Amino acid sequence: MSDKDLWKALEDLSKKAGIRVVYGRPRSRGGVCSYRGREFVVIHCDNDYAQRAEVLADCLAEREIDPALLRDSEIVEVLAGREV
């Protein structure tokens, strides 16, 4: 799976899990933030696809994701390999 395809698959999983992905220019590479009870993953807009996928995979690995949403074995493998 290409970096772009992995990023898109993780972004789709995030949306299905109710976690909104936004782009901006945080002082870091990005991460999770909460605002008014909603969770967001902020991704630095200058990140390439590999960096975007890494940030999002790290954030998703820390969350409890409904197993019904984890149908892609490659995504499951990526998330399982993350340190929480």
Read off the pLDDT of residues 21-42 as tens digits, 9 standing for 90 and up: 988 887 777 777 878 888 888 8
CA-only gyration radius of the chain, Å: 12
For the entire predicted model, the pTM comes to 0.77
What is residue 4's predicted lDDT score, i.e. its pLDDT? 93
Contact 33/43 with Cβ under 8 angstroms?
no
Residue whose token pair is 């390439």: 48
Does 67 have pLDDT greater than 60?
yes
* Distance in angstroms (rounded) separating the CA atoms of residues 26 and 70: 29
Does 65 have pLDDT greater than 70?
yes
